[in-house]
Amino acid sequence: MQELVMSGNSSQSPSFLEMFTQAADSSAGSKSAPSEALSSDVDADERWLRHVEIEQAKGTLTALFGIDPDDAFAVLSAQSQSRNIKVHALARIILDTLRTNVGKPEFVQSAHRSLDRLLG
């Protein structure tokens, strides 16, 4: 599990997980939403959206890395804690990164290299 959480190849283009963690690092310092909007009384629609995004990110990690959903959530949790951002925010970053990079050959190659390292 630790290998998956911290995998990366600095001599090549950024790895699949490095792309996510770089995006997470850059957004961790920005507080775009007002704190009063994120009160403890978040409405049901927002909670549901966060849940859906986390599940989609878990599914993405499961499909790309061939891991089970519990391990995918462990990766999300570990990266969330190490970067000091909420799991749902990291899930959103993963989904946004995937949407904007999925057609790029270097992104696909990086995802496959990460999977090969995990399984190899």
For residue range 46-99, list pLDDT tens digits in order: 889 999 999 999 998 898 878 899 999 998 998 899 889 999 999 999 899 888
94 lies in a domain? Answer: yes
30 lies in a domain? Answer: no
39 lies in a domain? Answer: no
pLDDT at 22: 63
Of 16, 3, 5, nearest to 74 (Cα)? 5
DSSP 35-94: GGGG-TT--HHHHHHHHHHHHHHHHHHHHHH---HHHHHHHHHHHHHHHT--HHHHHHHH
pLDDT at 68: 93
Tell me how many domains the chain contains. Answer: 1
36 lies in a domain? Answer: no
68 lies in a domain? Answer: yes
29 lies in a domain? Answer: no
Cα 59 to Cα 51: distance, rounded to the nearest angstrom:
12
Q: What is the pTM of this model?
A: 0.59
Domain of 58, in residue numbers: 2-6+13-24+45-119
83 lies in a domain? Answer: yes
